[in-house]
Structure 1
């Protein structure tokens, strides 16, 4: 069954100040992408935060990012400052708060949607 215009798979709203977009996906798009999240955890020994390496993205300038899921169906890119990558986990000194969901499967697709909007 095809989606109608009112059931768009994704809408991308760029923030004019930051250049970072808010991406809203339909439930069907989330299912098609098989999008998964995991939560940010406290770093070991109180050192920053930890999240799965699968959530980490690098942009063309080498900056590091994750996509957070602050509300149902809503995804936003957030900068992280990586201090260590080990055993499939990232420790960061700057990034989303502990407990924040981050995208671990389909983050690259969100990145593509954010930068290939044709606008």
Structure 2
């Protein structure tokens, strides 16, 4: 190999090694303003309950499922999966007044029987409650990170 060929080969080799370094640049941090959920205070309520709205994609990813409050004799009942306890042991469920919107509702449990929770006090029969995905709604309402 001639001297000029070796010089050309060396120049090409060194040039190709420096190309990945030349492509490296400082990337500015980007903070997205997109949110898959929104949390808003509810007008007229003095407690800490907030309205949580999921996008359709967020609800699909959280696998949110709902059921309805059923009459149970003179009482009402909800599926056991709709029962949530907070850190103080208070019981509540998330009701869905409209699609993809959820509001924490305090409940008073009379008894638990199998897969049903009979309520002493709670939302009326026919109300939609979250069954699968309630912890994700709770996390969204209180800003809990995974």
> TM bucket by the smaller chain?
0.7 to 0.9
Q: Deviations over 1:53-91 (max 9, x none)?
A: 000000111100000000111100000000000111000
More strand by share: 1
Match runs of 1:1-119 below 5 Å? 5=33, 8-15=35-42, 17-43=46-72, 45-46=73-74, 48-116=75-143
The structure whose RCO (Cα within 8 Å, separation 6+) is larger is 1
Q: Which runs of 5 or more residues in structure 2 are unaligned?
A: 1-31
Normalising by the residue count of structure 1, what TM-score does the alignment of the two structures yield?
0.87
CA distance in 1: counterparts of 2:137 and 2:109, whole angstroms: 20
Post-superposition, which runs of at least 4 consecutive aligned residues in structure 1 deviate over 2 A?
none
Alignment size in residue pairs: 112
Rg comparison, structure with higher value: 2
More helix by share: 2
